[in-house]
Amino acid sequence: MLMCRDLAEIASDYIDGELNGRQNLSVKMHLMMCKDCRTFIGNLRASSNLLSAHSSGKADEEFLRRIDERVAEALNARKIRGSDSE
Amino acid sequence: MDTAVHPESEASLIEELKRGDSTAYQKAVREYSPGMLAVARFYLDHSSAEEIVQDCWVTVIDAVQKFEGRSGLKTWLHRIVANRCKNRLRTANREVATDFSETLEPELANRFNSTGRWDLPPKLQFHESADTLMENGELSDCLDKHLSALPETQRSALMLYEAHQHKSDDVCNILDVSASNLRVLLHRARQKIFLMVETFQETGEC
Ligand SMILES: [Zn+2]
């Protein structure tokens, strides 16, 4: 029988739909009977959603501007190379 | 907060990049650099990672001419970053060590009794939606703090899979980990975030 601890070990696989049919069924059965694990799964799923919602655009502006500068330099160099060969 | 580039606009962005349009580069740099940085941080310290991402953008100017769009632009960029990082590590002769043997965080594992039942079950339900939770600036800061404290392997797997919505195959490819190890990385990282949110909801402290 699947214990709470066993369920906790495979909880992410359950959330992501990575379990096989038999495992999936035993998790579902356990969840029907166990309120604590329902809360756990719900909260783990919420944690996962939290990360998706958390803005991934965290690179700081100064870093991005430095990239802009280097790209601009390289683009110019490329243009000069291009017009030389034409 | 969905800033993902749609397929049609990705195709036109690629065309603009091929033409060397500097506005298109600025747009792409903002769209893709955070993810590229996450990949680089899997391998390298912060300043080396930033350096690699900068260098990659310069090489993209030429490389994009040969880009055929078989993979998405994001996956392609992430692969370039990963390859550069691996090369640098190879020359530096440094290995990235990771422990995949434990699927449960010790702090969570301690909450079960010897029969495998909850000793200390989760008390509260995270009832608010993710978007509502993220409007809480303190929680958002707390999440940042915890994310930066994660082992680099877990953070990159998490960012690529959750925040950048890569498919598992792509993440395995980019990070050079097996599918089963990726599952462990993701699960360990999610548990840490779970524990963090729980503490935050209970105590209001990070
Ligand atoms: Zn249970």
Distances (CA, A) of B149 to A13, A39, B70, B116: 24, 26, 35, 29
Q: Position of tokens 């209001």? A: B204
B124: CA distance to ligand 1 center in Å? 15
Q: Which of A70, A86, A80, A6 is nearest to A40 (CA)?
A: A6
Q: Do A52 and B162 touch (CB under 8 A)?
A: yes
Q: Do A37 and B33 touch (CB under 8 A)?
A: no
Q: Which of B41, B197, B194, B202 is nearest to B105 (CA)?
A: B194
DSSP code, position B5: P
**Range(s) of the domain holding residue A26:** 4-84
Domain ranges of chain B: 7-92, 106-203
B residues 12-31 lying closer than 8 A (beta carbon) to A: 20, 22, 25-26, 29-30
> SS3 of B155, please?
helix
Q: Token digits for B89?
A: 């590590």
CATH of the domain at A43: 1.10.10
What topology is assigned to B7-92 in CATH? Rna Polymerase Sigma Factor; Chain: A (1.10.1740)
Averaged over B168-194, what is the pLDDT?
88
Q: Domain count for chain A, please give it.
A: 1
CATH 3.30.300.30 fits B106-203, yes or no: no
Averaged over B91-106, what is the pLDDT?
68
Q: Do B140 and A54 touch (CB under 8 A)?
A: yes
pTM over 0.80? The answer is no
B45-74 tens-digit pLDDT:
777 889 999 999 999 999 999 998 888 999
Provide the pLDDT confidence category of residue A79 given band limits of 50, 70 and 90.
confident
B71-90 tens-digit pLDDT:
899 999 999 998 998 788 76
Q: Residue B2: is its pLDDT beyond 50?
A: no
A23-49 tens-digit pLDDT:
999 999 999 999 999 999 999 998 888
B84: CA distance to ligand 1 center in Å? 45
